[in-house]
Amino acid sequence: MLRLVHLYADLMNLYGDRGNIIALQRRCDWRGIALEVQDLTLGENLEPSTVDILFFGGGQDVEQETVSRDLARGVGRAIQEAVEDGAALLSVCGGYQLLGRFFRTTEGVEIPGVGLFDAHTVAGDRRMVGDVIVEADLGQKPSTLVGFENHSGQTFLGPGAHPLGRVQIGHGNNGVDRTEGVRYRNAVGTYLHGPLLPKNPALADWIIESALGRRDGLETPLAALDDRVELEANTAQARRIRQAGPRRASIR
Ligand code: GLN
């Protein structure tokens, strides 16, 4: 059995980020793998050895400040320990920003991050909104991820950080260097919002496989699923985004 903890599910869950958990549940279920999901909120503790997958969705600056304070109680350290021990993690936008070193808001307030990722974020004066195509590197074969972004924070990776992929269309981490997201051990940060995993099954399976590998100590490949619908959704969206062409960031 695998155990997933949804970090601050009541505060950090924008644009249907929770759809990612439903996708993981279905893909586990189709393979006969039990996946237990538990929400964690303010004041609660995380036991690193009992969690296989962590999910951290997006949120606005005000929620990020509240959550940052709670992370500092020890939850941030527990997330780091779980990831160092091989747990899988998917973080999106506001959650991704909080796992970096800090996020500096437009007001100049520096919200401390966990420091799991060698990255920092600075609020920009443009909002980066729109559809995104990313050529991702998940360690084995490259895969095309499609999704939607909506952020003003510009994330810059440090020398110790590997991007999740390169932006073909869209803004990605900062709208400047064409990187998108970050990958460290089995942890991923990304700006791709909403239900990202249903139309990107390669990423969903990478998360499940990583979690199983850590739990069982085995590198057993997952049973293949009939992904015709998922892959058609992926290619149809990529086609539509390419036809619409590149987007400009909008002034806030
Ligand atoms: N406050 C962050 C930004 O706009 C995160 C927003 C989000 O999670 N969508 O950069």
**pLDDT for position 78:** 98
Going 97 to 102 to 105 to 110, the CA torsion angle's sign is: positive
**Closest CA to ligand 1's atom 3:** 151
Contact, 220 vs 120, CB < 8 A? no
**pLDDT for position 251:** 61
Q: What is the CATH number of the domain that holds 229?
A: 3.40.50.880
Amino acid at 76: G
| Domain residue limits at 135 | 2-251
pTM of the model: 0.96
CA 139 to the chain's CA centroid: 16
The rounded Å distance from CA 85 to ligand 1 centre is: 28
**pLDDT for position 252:** 59
**pLDDT for position 217:** 78
Identify the residue whose tokens are 């780091």.
Answer: 80
Task: Please report, to the nearest 10 degrees, the dihedral formed by the alpha carbons of residues 52, 14, 231, 131 taken in order.
Answer: -130
The rounded Å distance from CA 56 to ligand 1 centre is: 13
Q: Which residues are catalytic?
A: 93, 193
Spatial distance between the Cα atoms of 137 and 143, rounded to a whole number of angstroms = 7
Going 67 to 69 to 70 to 71, the CA torsion angle's sign is: positive
The rounded Å distance from CA 213 to ligand 1 centre is: 32
Could you give the number of structural domains in the chain?
Answer: 1
**pLDDT for position 17:** 86
DSSP helix, strand, coil percent of the chain (3-state; round to 5): 30, 30, 40
DSSP conformation letters of 189-207: EE---SS-STT-HHHHHHH
Spatial distance between the Cα atoms of 166 and 168, rounded to a whole number of angstroms = 6
**pLDDT for position 219:** 72
Q: Which residues sit with their C-beta closer than 6 Å to ligand 1?
A: 14, 58-61, 64, 93-94, 150-153
Contact, 40 vs 219, CB < 8 A? no
Radius of gyration of the chain (CA): 17
* pLDDT averaged per 10 residues, the chain (length 252): 96 88 97 96 97 96 96 98 97 97 95 98 94 88 89 96 96 97 97 92 95 83 93 94 78 60
Among residues 50, 100, 61, 91, which one has the least CA distance to residue 215?
A: 50
Residues in CB range of 94: below 8 A, 6 or more apart:
12, 14, 57, 58, 59, 60, 63, 64
